[in-house]
Each structure stands twice: as C-alpha cells, then as structure tokens.
C-alpha cells in the first residue's frame, strides 16, 4: 500500500441518501464467478451491489447535524445531545462512553448506541516500516472483510481506505478484483476507517508521537465511483468543519477510479476541490481491455477526456496511476504512446501527473513487477515529453500490502 497525490456534488445530496450503502440494485458475486476466479478465467464486470443484503445501522457519520438530532428524537432521546456526541467523535476523537462525561450517566449508553453503534471490529493489524505503516483487516457487522492502511511519513500521515467489500471491476492483476463484489460500504463505514486511524495517532499509538491524519486516499478495496453516494457522503463528513465533520482540507483527499466515465463527469460538477486519480495502466485499448475490463465500455480516449474535463473545470491536476508490469505494459513505446494520449486533449497547461506504481504481486499471479531499468526508461521517456512523472514509494510488501491480500489470506 502506498500514497499518491489526490471528489465531488452540484447540489447537496439528501443526507439520508448518503447514509447507507447502495445495496438495493441487481447483480452480485455468484458461485460461478468465484469458480472463474479460482480457475483463472476472466471475471465479468459487476457494476451494481447485490440486492437484499442487510444494511449497517445508522451512525452519526451517515448524517448531517439535522439528521443526527432527528435520529435521537425519533428514539425518544433529547436532540441537543447530538452535537455533544459529534464533538466527542470528530473533535475529541473519543469512542469510549465512559470518557463522555458531559452526557448524563443514566442516558449515556442509549445515546451512544443510537448515534455511535459499533460498525466494524479489527481482525488483525500488521505493521511494517518500524510501525509507521499499519494495515488493518476489519470485519463489518455482517461478516464482510475490508482493509485500511495508515502510512506515517516524517511530514504527514495518509490513510488509505476501502469503499466496497470486494470489487466488481474484475482487473486480473488485483487481489480484490479477483474476489468479486460482496457489497458497498456505508458512508459511516468508510469514515470510521479514517477515524480509527485518527484516534490511534492522537493517542500516540503510532511511532512518532501524537499526530493527525493529513491525507485520505480512496485506493483501498473497491471502486469508489461505483459506490458514488456513500463515497461523496464520506468526503463531506471528512471535510465538514468540526464538530459536524473531521475538518480536513478537501485538497488532502484523493479519489481513485478505473474510469467510470459518467461518474467522473458527475464528480466534475460536485464543486469539491479534490484530486482525481485515474487508474489507467495502459495507453492502448487492446491492452487496457484486458487489464482494466471497464475499458470495453469506455475507451482510453473517452476516459482520458473525462479526466481532462475534470482538471479543466476544477483546476485540480489529475494523477494517472500506472502499475508497471514486467513485459506487459512497461515497454518504452508504450511510454511514448501514453504521452501522445495525454497530449491529445490539447491542454496548454500541466493538467496531469503520471504516478508509476511498482506492482505488488499477489500470490500465484503471473503479473510481476517491472525490471528497474525498464521502469527508469519509462520515466525518462515521459519526462522527455514534459510530463511530470514519479515512481510511487510503495509500502507494505511484507504485510500483504496489495489491496485485498489480507482479506484473501483470512478467507483461505
């Protein structure tokens, strides 16, 4: 897991709509899909979450202040206590009821269980980089498994969070994609991953002393834009001023996508200054159709144009994510073609940055990391065309760092 440079709403989405996972649409992971994954056959794209799964309980982070007050009152509790609970959760980073001493003892348990129900429990946490990289496997209320990663650097801390349990995008080199989609996560389940990291930092549990979360990247399990309402809701909770939210800068948030073009266009109109990261991985349709199956619906040209329109409208530079795979997409001529594709927008300013990712292979996979010399030549060719390019500082190889590896090992 690792960090990259860093989503979006023209009108305020009703808070009740962002509160829970979009779990009421057809299409789901099936036994046939699981068998296909085991046999190494291509999985189908799954664009919608399975129907009929139970939703997580409503949580403070799912709701705006009015919604929190209403939920308490609907349960026969004083609505004004909602702001106190919000202050404990978002500002004081407190999750233990006994520390919420401004709440009456006789009502404290009921207040907390109504607005702060437990959403996830840690299964295990793995550490690397002397404890400054911490990957946590979480079990959600219904048994689904997701992962988050905290990465502390000398000058910042980044949280990488999941937005779905599993993923329906079926990318063959991705551990999560090969497991299929179980369900969307709720806004609060997404936010709680960040809050758990924020509490650990505030308590001094991560080497380096007390600290705070500076950046959040939606690059864990799942395709964020396939769970659009919940992800946008989470972004709003994270960036709302405390105590309504965590009070982060929107510029510290990155949302990644494999290229759901209609959702990128919707994101463009949201008016939130986030960073969009496009997981491109190939500059030509023939190869990208294989590596990123959504490309069979939205071509490279169409996807890159949507990313360019996002940059042009928001004035936020887009990050092009490109996992380097030995002998697959790391040829020098593909670097030249990538430059051609990015310049085809006709942009007259540096709207894009290429972030090369040394592939973190999954066990038994045919996909392996590029030779360092080929990686360096790829960088040289892009930079020679005037395209800013970096190689991601990948962390977590020794702790099943690729998204989905911890969950896969737990289920094995």
Q: How far is the C-alpha of 84 from the C-alpha of 238, rounded, in Å?
A: 18
Residue spans of the domains in the chain: they are 60-115, 155-394
Q: How far is the C-alpha of 367 from the C-alpha of 282, rounded, in Å?
A: 14
Task: List phi, psi (to 5°) of 346.
Answer: 80, 10
Q: Report, as an integer, the average pLDDT of 280-284.
A: 98
Q: Residue holding tokens 């409503």? A: 58
CA 61 → CA 15, 117, 140, 357, distances in Å?
A: 10, 11, 16, 32
**Paired residues of 76 in beta bridges:** none
Q: Report, as an integer, the average pLDDT of 373-389.
A: 97
Q: How far is the C-alpha of 384 from the C-alpha of 375, rounded, in Å?
A: 14
Residue 410 has a pLDDT of 53
Q: How many CB atoms lie within 10 A of CB 67?
A: 18
Instruction: Between 400 and 54, name the one with better pLDDT.
Output: 54
Give the active site residues.
147, 403
Instruction: Enter the CATH code of domain 60-115.
Output: 1.10.150.530
Return all residues near 250 (Cβ < 8 A) that are at least 6 apart.
235, 239, 272, 273, 274
Find out whether 176 and 404 touch, Cβ atoms under 8 Å.
Answer: yes
Find out whether 217 and 2 touch, Cβ atoms under 8 Å.
Answer: no
Question: What is the distance of C-alpha 391 from the center of its chain?
Answer: 20
Residue 407: pLDDT over 70: no
pLDDT tens digits, one per residue of 39-92 = 455 688 998 888 888 999 999 999 999 999 999 999 999 999 999 999 999 999
Q: Which CATH superfamily is domain 155-394 in?
A: Aldolase class I (3.20.20.70)
Q: How many CB atoms lie within 10 A of CB 348?
A: 6
pLDDT tens digits, one per residue of 336-362 = 999 999 999 998 889 999 999 999 877
pLDDT tens digits, one per residue of 223-257 = 999 999 999 999 999 999 999 999 999 999 999 99
Say whether 155-394 and 60-115 share the same fold: no
pLDDT tens digits, one per residue of 125-137 = 999 999 999 999 9
Q: How far is the C-alpha of 238 from the C-alpha of 249, rounded, in Å?
A: 8
């Amino acid at each position: 897991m690792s960090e990259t440079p860093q989503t979006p709403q023209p009108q305020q989405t009703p808070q009740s709509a962002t509160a829970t996972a979009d779990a009421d649409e057809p299409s789901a992971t099936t036994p046939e899909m699981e068998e296909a994954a085991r046999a190494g056959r291509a999985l189908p794209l799954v664009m919608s979450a399975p129907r009929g799964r139970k939703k997580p309980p409503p949580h403070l982070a799912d709701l705006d202040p009015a919604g929190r007050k209403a939920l308490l009152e609907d349960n026969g509790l004083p609505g004004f206590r909602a702001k106190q609970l919000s202050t404990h959760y978002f500002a004081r980073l407190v999750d233990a009821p006994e520390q919420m001493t401004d709440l009456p003892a006789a009502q404290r348990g009921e207040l907390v269980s109504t607005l702060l129900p437990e959403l996830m429990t840690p299964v295990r946490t793995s550490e690397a980089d002397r404890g400054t990289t911490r990957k946590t496997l979480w079990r959600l209320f219904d048994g689904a498994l997701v992962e988050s990663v905290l990465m502390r650097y000398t000058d910042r801390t980044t949280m990488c969070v999941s937005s779905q349990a599993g993923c329906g995008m079926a990318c063959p080199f991705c551990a999560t994609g090969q497991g299929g989609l179980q369900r969307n996560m709720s806004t609060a389940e997404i936010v709680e991953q960040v809050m758990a990291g924020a509490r650990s930092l505030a308590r001094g549990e991560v080497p380096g002393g007390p600290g705070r979360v500076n950046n959040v990247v939606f690059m864990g399990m799942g395709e964020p834009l396939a769970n659009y309402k919940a992800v946008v809701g989470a972004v709003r909770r994270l960036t709302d001023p405390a105590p309504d939210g965590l009070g982060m800068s929107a510029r510290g948030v990155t949302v990644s996508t494999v290229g759901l073009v209609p959702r990128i266009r919707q994101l463009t109109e949201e008016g939130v200054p986030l960073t969009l990261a496009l997981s491109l991985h190939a500059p030509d349709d023939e190869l990208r159709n294989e590596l990123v199956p959504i490309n069979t619906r939205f071509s490279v040209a169409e996807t890159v144009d949507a990313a360019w329109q996002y940059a042009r409208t928001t004035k936020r530079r887009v990050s092009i994510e490109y996992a380097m795979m030995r002998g697959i997409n790391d040829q020098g001529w593909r670097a030249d073609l990538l430059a051609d594709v990015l310049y085809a927008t006709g942009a007259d300013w540096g709207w894009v940055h290429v972030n090369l990712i040394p592939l973190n292979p999954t066990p038994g996979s045919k996909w392996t990391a590029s030779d360092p010399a080929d990686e360096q030549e790829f960088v040289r060719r892009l930079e020679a065309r005037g395209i800013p390019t970096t190689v991601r500082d990948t962390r977590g190889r020794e702790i099943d760092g690729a998204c989905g590896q911890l969950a896969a090992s737990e289920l094995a």
